């Protein structure tokens, strides 16, 4: 049996799930499967579907993996990821048949509310990835989160309830999850939502990120590495939805290169990676990406290399870029984020 646990960085944007499962079948996703009890049961009850479980917690993944292995369930795969990443980066528009979200973390404190998974933006993203008529089942035992979910679902034009009401507070047909049992034992009311994606067209506002060839820029400059190092200071750069934080600068052991640690955020991806300024011969530098951590060469990485090259050029009037493979706007004048 192939391993059920998928390696996130080996999955292309988007991923062909039929290839991963080795057959063409409707795709069902459970988000935040916890112990994996519901997920494995779902896969067993629906042998003709491809069932994906996504979780951020490694212990949960390991627990679920053991269950899948022990029971020999073939039609389930597990992924350690934020659900938003799975949906936006790995799933084609209109490719998912059903999504289950059981007892999502409620983040009850006011300053944590932005961490809640289900909101208007998330429903829009989900609507782009579900097939028309695709199903969304949600359950929560948190009264305040239930209010927010009710409001978001009632407000979205992309979903309609499959029940006569927005939610019900009893559902004896579903398999009880661990957090459902805790909620019931502690006397809380559970809210169960069963929605379907309407036929209404959904604006495709969540494009799949592109990968570009590994970026590089070659420069000539009379500056020595020491001088470049001395002139460096942390800075931030933002362009549309891409935010780059140029952090620490380190000198390589062999003395021939500088490493700039960068944090690049371009939803739904955030990468912490190393940009390298290497002296190939006196006065000749190449700027590229360090391969440590298998970075993905996104538009944000192109912008980061471009901004570093632009910064180098700004240090000395005789510094110039000889050649590069960057996008045209990656070499715009340097911009500092507010």
Ligand X SMILES: C[S@@+](CC[C@H](N)C(=O)[O-])C[C@H]1O[C@@H](n2cnc3c(N)ncnc32)[C@H](O)[C@@H]1O
Site for ligand X, rule CB under 6 A: 31-34, 54-57, 60, 82-83, 102-105, 117, 177-180
Q: Which is nearer to ligand X, 82 or 171 (CB)?
A: 82
CB of 299 to ligand X, least distance (A): 23
CB of 241 to ligand X, least distance (A): 19
Phi, psi of 63 (to 5 degrees): -60, -45
Q: Which is nearer to ligand X, 126 or 257 (CB)?
A: 126
CB-based contacts of 184, cutoff 8 Å, min separation 6: 141, 176, 190
Distances from the Cα of 132 to the Cαs of 8, 109, 115, 120, in angstroms? 27, 35, 28, 18
Closest residue by beta carbon to ligand X: 32
Taken as a whole, the chain contains a residue count of 338
Phi, psi of 36 (to 5 degrees): 90, 0
Calpha distance 8→80 (Å, rounded): 7
CB of 181 to ligand X, least distance (A): 8
CB of 32 to ligand X, least distance (A): 2
CB of 211 to ligand X, least distance (A): 23
Distances from the Cα of 72 to the Cαs of 66, 88, 123, 236, in angstroms? 10, 30, 34, 49
Q: Which is nearer to ligand X, 80 or 166 (CB)?
A: 80
CA 284 to chain centroid, in Å, comes to: 37
Asked if 202 and 124 touch (Cβ cutoff 8 Å), the reply is yes
Q: Which is nearer to ligand X, 85 or 246 (CB)?
A: 85
For residue 229, give both structure tokens: 């190092």
The 3-state DSSP class for residue 185 equals helix
3-class DSSP string for 299-324: HHHHHHHHHHHHHHHHHCCCCEEEEE
Q: Which is nearer to ligand X, 142 or 299 (CB)?
A: 142
Q: Which is nearer to ligand X, 82 or 160 (CB)?
A: 82
What residue has token string 């994996």?
Answer: 36
Q: Which is nearer to ligand X, 57 or 169 (CB)?
A: 57
CB of 34 to ligand X, least distance (A): 3
**Concatenated DSSP letters of 241-252:** TEEEEEEEEEE-
CB of 306 to ligand X, least distance (A): 31
Asked if 189 and 169 touch (Cβ cutoff 8 Å), the reply is yes
Q: Which is nearer to ligand X, 34 or 300 (CB)?
A: 34
CB of 104 to ligand X, least distance (A): 6
């Amino acid at each position: 049996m192939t391993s059920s646990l998928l390696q996130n960085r080996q999955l292309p944007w988007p991923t062909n799930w039929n290839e991963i499962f080795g057959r063409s079948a409707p795709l069902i996703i459970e988000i935040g499967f916890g112990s994996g009890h519901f997920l494995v049961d779902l896969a067993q009850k629906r042998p003709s579907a491809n069932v994906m479980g996504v979780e951020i917690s490694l212990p949960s993944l390991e627990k679920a993996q053991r269950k899948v292995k022990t029971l020999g369930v073939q039609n389930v795969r597990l992924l350690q990821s934020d659900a938003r990443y799975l949906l936006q980066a790995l799933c084609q528009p209109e490719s998912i048949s059903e999504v289950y979200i059981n007892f999502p973390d409620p983040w009850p404190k006011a300053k944590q509310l932005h961490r809640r998974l289900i909101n208007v933006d998330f429903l829009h993203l989900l609507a782009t990835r579900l097939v028309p008529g695709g199903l969304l089942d949600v359950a929560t035992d948190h009264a305040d989160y239930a209010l927010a979910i009710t409001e978001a679902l009632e407000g979205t034009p992309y979903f309609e309830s499959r029940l006569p009401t927005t939610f019900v507070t009893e559902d004896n047909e579903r398999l009880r999850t661990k957090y459902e049992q805790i909620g019931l034992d502690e006397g809380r009311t559970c809210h169960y939502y069963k929605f379907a994606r309407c036929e209404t067209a959904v604006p495709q506002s969540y494009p799949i990120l592109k990968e570009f060839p590994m970026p590089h820029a070659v420069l000539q400059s009379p500056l020595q590495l020491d001088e470049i190092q001395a002139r460096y200071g942390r800075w931030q750069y933002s362009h549309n939805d891409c935010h780059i934080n140029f952090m620490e600068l380190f000198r390589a052991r062999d003395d021939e290169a500088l490493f700039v640690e960068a944090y690049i955020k371009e939803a739904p991806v955030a990468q912490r990676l190393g940009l390298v300024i290497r002296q190939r011969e006196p006065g000749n530098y190449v700027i590229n990406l360090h391969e440590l951590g298998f970075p993905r060469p996104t538009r944000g990485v192109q912008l980061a290399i471009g901004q570093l090259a632009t910064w180098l050029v700004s240090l000395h009037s005789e510094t110039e870029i000889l050649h590069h493979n960057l996008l045209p706007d990656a070499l715009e004048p340097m911009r500092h984020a507010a």
